[in-house]
Structure 1
Amino acid sequence: MQQDDVEIIERETCFSGFYQLDRLQLRHRQFAGGMGPQLSRELFVRHDAVCVLPYDPQHDVVVLIEQFRIGALEKSTNPWLLELVAGLIDKDEQPEEVARREAVEEANLTLSSLWPITQYYPSPGGSDERVHLFVGRCDSQGAGGVHGLAEEGEDIRVHVWPLEDALDAVKDGRIDNAASIIALQWLALNRAEVRGLWS
C-alpha cells in the first residue's frame, strides 16, 4: 500500500467501553485507477485475540471449552459453544504469554509447548481484531471440570475429546466458530508431524 492509497477524511469515536466503535469517512484507490467516492464505515475496534487448541499427542486428544456466547443467542439453538481456550491481548503481553495464562484460567491446563498456526482477521469488513492461533501441547490426564475467573463472570466447562470426535463435530456443525474449525482442520492436516515432534 502506498501512503496516498487511502485518505482518512474524518474519524470519530461513537462509543468507547470495553470495546470501541469508530466511524470513519474515507476514500481509497480503486483497481481501475483514481480515488473512489467518499465512504462512511463503522469500525469495531478490538484488542487482538489469542486462541489455542490444547492437544495431548500421547493420547491424540484435544481439550475444548464450552461457555455461553451472547453472539450466538439469537442465531443458534444452543448459545453454549464448544471453543478453543482464548483471551484478549489487553495488557503488555506477548501472544504466547496470553495463551499460557488463559489455558490455566479457563481449563486448568499447563501448556508445555506452543506451535504457531497462523494469524488472521476474523471479520475485516468491520473489525480490526487480529487472531493469533496456536496448538498447545498438554497432558490431558485429569483435565475436566468447570473453570474461569469468577470476577469476570466466567463459567467454563472443560471437555476432553479424541481428535477424531472433534473433527466429526466440525463436520456436523456442532463446532461452528472460526478459530476452532481452523485449528482442528490444521491439526488434522499436520497431526503426524506434530505427534512426531511432541511424542
Structure 2
Amino acid sequence: MKARPAKAPPIPAHPGVTVLEDEVVWDGRFPLQRVRFTYARFDGSQSGELVWELWRRHAGVAVLPYDPVADSVALIEQFRLPALAAGLDPIMVECPAGLQEIGEAPEQVAVRETLEETGLSPDRFELICRTMLMQGGCDETMHYYAARVRLPEPGAGGEYGLLDEHENTRVLVVPAEQAFAMLDANQNHECDGDGLPLVAAASPGAAATGMGVMPTELLYRDDAYAREATATVLAAGPEGVLLDRTPFYAQAGGQPGDAGWLRWEGGEMPVNKAVKGEADTVLHLPAEGAALPPVGATVTAALDWAPRHRHMRMHTALHLLCSLIPGAGVTGGQIGAERSRLDFDLAAPPTKEWLTERLNALVAEDHAVGERWISEAELDENPSLVRTLSVQPPRGAGRIRLVRIGAEDAPVDLQPCGGTHVRATAEIGRVEVTKLENKGKQNRRVYLVLAGE
C-alpha cells in the first residue's frame, strides 16, 4: 500500500466534526484530498453530508525586505503561470516568498527565500501576521515578515533564483511610499499592471525603529542537560548573535549566562556569555575579535558544560537553602561556579553549622526536581509562592514556571523560577555554608560552596 504523502495527513479529530471518508485522490506536487464529512451547526444539530476537495499546500512564508535608512523596500518580478491562466500579465511584482517544508521553521524559510530570490541577508525580522490564503479549499497558511536590510539605490537590483528549479527573479528597489501607493492602487481595483499583489499590512517603518524577531526557543526549558543543538542564525553583529533556538541560558535571576561556542561549516565563534535581548530573545556575545556566523547559516550551539553544570548544582542548592529559612523574604542572590549566596530579610539566621548539616541531609535524600506551569491568575491567588522580594517572576506570557523539589503533594521547595537545575538533589553533591554576613538591620547574607571541589 502506498504511503500517504506527508503534506496530506488525515483530518485531525475535532469534537464537532465527523469524518466519514478521507482519501488522497491526487499525489502530485501538491496533494488533493477528498473528504466526506458532517459538522456541528450553531444550533447544535449535525449538518448533512458534504464532500469537499482539499488542496494540501501546508505553509508558506513571504518577506518584505525594508531599508529604514533609505526608506525603501525590495520587491521581485517573477513569471507566474496561474496569473496567465487568470488572464493577467504573467510577470508579477511581489514579495520574496517560498514554501515551508515539513519540520522546517518559518524563520528558516524567511532567511532562505530572501537570500535566494534577492541576494539580501536581513539582520532582523519582525512577524507581521499569519493568515490563511484560501480557507474554503486549501490548507495553506502564510507567515508574513518584515526584514531589515541594506539596499542599493532605487531601480533594478539584479537577477536571482535557483537555476536547478528554473527560477528567475529580478529585484526592484522601490521607495516605501511608492510601494504602498502601488498596493493602494491594487486594493482600489485600479491596477493597470503596476499594482502590487500583496496582502495589506502595516508599513514596516514602525517596526524598523525597534524591529524585533520571534522569541528565541529556550531548549534548556525542556532539557537542561542538552549540551548542544543546531540552530539558524537570524542576526549577527558586534552586539551579539541571535539564533532561532538555543541551549544557552541567558543571564538572569542571579544565574550567569552560559559560555560556549557557535560552530558552522568553515568557522567557529567563542561565546563569552549569553544575555537577554529584545522581545524575549537571547543574544550570544562573541569573544573579542571573533568571526561572526553568516545570517541564515546553520550552526551548532555548544555549551561550556563544566561551569553550566556547576551553576545547575548551585542553583538547586540555593532552593534547598531557601526551604530551610521559611517565611523570610529573599532580598538578593548570586549564583557562581565557585561560590553562591542568598540574602534574607531576617534578623537572626540559623548557624552555618546547622544549615550545612540540614542542607546535606536534603541532598542525601535525593529528592526529585521537577516543574509545572501555572497561570498568572493562579500566582496572584497564591502570592506566598514568591520568595524573592527584589525580583518578581516575569509576566506577560500568561503563565509562570514553578520549580518543585520533592513530592508534588508535600514539596521541600516550590517557587517560581526560570533557571536551570539538576534532576535530583543527590547530584548536587556535598555543600558547605562557609559564611554568614550582616548586610543591614534586617538583611543576612548566607554563602555556600560545593564542598571539597
TM-score over 0.5 for the pair: yes
Q: Does 1:24 align with 2:40?
A: no
Gaps of 5+ in 2: 1-12, 187-193, 212-453
Match of 2:180 in 1: 167
Gaps of 5+ in 1: none
How far apart in 1 are the matches of 2:140 and 2:88? 27
Match of 2:327 in 1: none
Contact 1:57 1:194 in 2 (8 A): no
Match of 1:156 in 2: 169
Match of 1:119 in 2: 130
How far apart in 1 are the matches of 2:63 and 2:36? 36
How far apart in 2 are the matches of 1:132 and 1:123? 14
Tell me how many residue pairs correspond in the alignment: 190
- CA displacement 1:155-175 (0-9 Å, x = unmatched): 101000001111111122233
Aligned residue among 202, 206, 209 for 1:186: 202
Aligned residue among 114, 129, 133 for 2:140: 129
Q: 1:100 to 1:169 in 2, by over 3 A?
A: same
- CA displacement 1:30-76 (0-9 Å, x = unmatched): 11221000000000001200111000011100000110111111324
Contact 1:52 1:136 in 2 (8 A): yes
Contact 1:83 1:175 in 2 (8 A): no
Contact 1:58 1:195 in 2 (8 A): no
Larger radius of gyration: 2
Residue 176 of structure 1 deviates from its aligned partner by 4.5
Contact 1:45 1:127 in 2 (8 A): yes
SS in 1 for 2:134: coil
How far apart in 2 are the matches of 1:38 and 1:91? 31
How far apart in 1 are the matches of 2:14 and 2:25? 26
SS in 2 for 1:14: strand
How far apart in 2 are the matches of 1:60 and 1:42? 44
Match of 1:79 in 2: 90
TM-score of the two chains, using structure 1 as the length reference? 0.89
The amino acid of 1:18's aligned partner reads R
How far apart in 2 are the matches of 1:77 and 1:160? 23
SS in 2 for 1:72: helix
Contact 2:72 2:151 in 1 (8 A): yes
Range with bigger deviation, 146-155 or 75-84 = 75-84
Q: Which stretches of structure 1, 4 residues or more, deviate above 6 A after TM superposition? A: none
Of Structure 1 and Structure 2, the greater helix share is in 1
SS in 2 for 1:103: helix
Residue 92 of structure 1 deviates from its aligned partner by 3.3
How far apart in 1 are the matches of 2:102 and 2:67? 29
- CA displacement 1:77-114 (0-9 Å, x = unmatched): 31111111111111532111110111111000001000
Question: What pairs up with 1:51-70 in 2 under 5 angstroms?
Answer: 51-70=62-81
Match of 1:4 in 2: 15
Residue 139 of structure 1 deviates from its aligned partner by 0.5
Match of 2:343 in 1: none
The amino acid of 1:94's aligned partner reads A
Match of 2:111 in 1: 100
SS in 2 for 1:35: coil
How far apart in 1 are the matches of 2:208 and 2:124? 12
TM-score of the two chains, using structure 2 as the length reference? 0.40
Match of 2:407 in 1: none
Range with bigger deviation, 65-74 or 20-29 = 65-74
SS in 2 for 1:172: helix
Contact 1:112 1:137 in 2 (8 A): yes
How far apart in 1 are the matches of 2:145 and 2:115? 15
Match of 1:141 in 2: 152
Q: 1:16 to 1:172 in 2, by over 3 A?
A: same
Instruction: Let me know the Cα RMSD of the aligned residues.
Output: 1.7
